[in-house]
Amino acid sequence: MRPKIKISELPDFDAAEFLQTDADIAAYLSTVLEENDAGLLAAALGDIASARGMTQVAKEAGITREALYKALRPGSEPRFETVSRVCAALGVKLVAQPLQAG
């Protein structure tokens, strides 16, 4: 029998460590967008911004670093303007697709 692992003893997962290329970032963001969850989108953009450097992303988005952290914390619901500016700073765009007939 294997020993039980306590969740509190597991290391924290940091998605930013795995977002090395533009393709990685696009795939991650596309997967998150499929969930239709504003809070999850904000957190994912935060992961991507962290991978790219929060200070630089904030500067390119034209907002303060503190405001960027606040807007992209897990569970937040940033305004569309903020999402749009952050996406532009990250070099990604959100794309609309028709819903698949099911």
pLDDT in tens, 27-80: 899 999 988 888 889 999 999 999 999 999 999 999 999 999 999 987 788 999
pLDDT of residue 55: 95
d(CA 87, CA 3): 44
Q: Does 20 have pLDDT greater than 80? A: yes
pLDDT tops 60 at residue 102: no
The answer to whether 43 and 72 have CB atoms below 8 angstroms apart is yes
Q: Record the tokens describing residue 60, joined without a space.
A: 């390119």
How much is the pLDDT for 11?
Answer: 74
Q: Nearest 10 degrees: CA dihedral of 13, 50, 69, 45?
A: -80
What are the C-alpha distances in Å from 58 to residues 3, 11, 17, 46?
A: 44, 28, 19, 11
| Higher per-residue confidence, 1 vs 94 | 94
Is the pLDDT reported for residue 12 higher than 90? no
Asked if residue 1 has pLDDT above 80, the reply is no
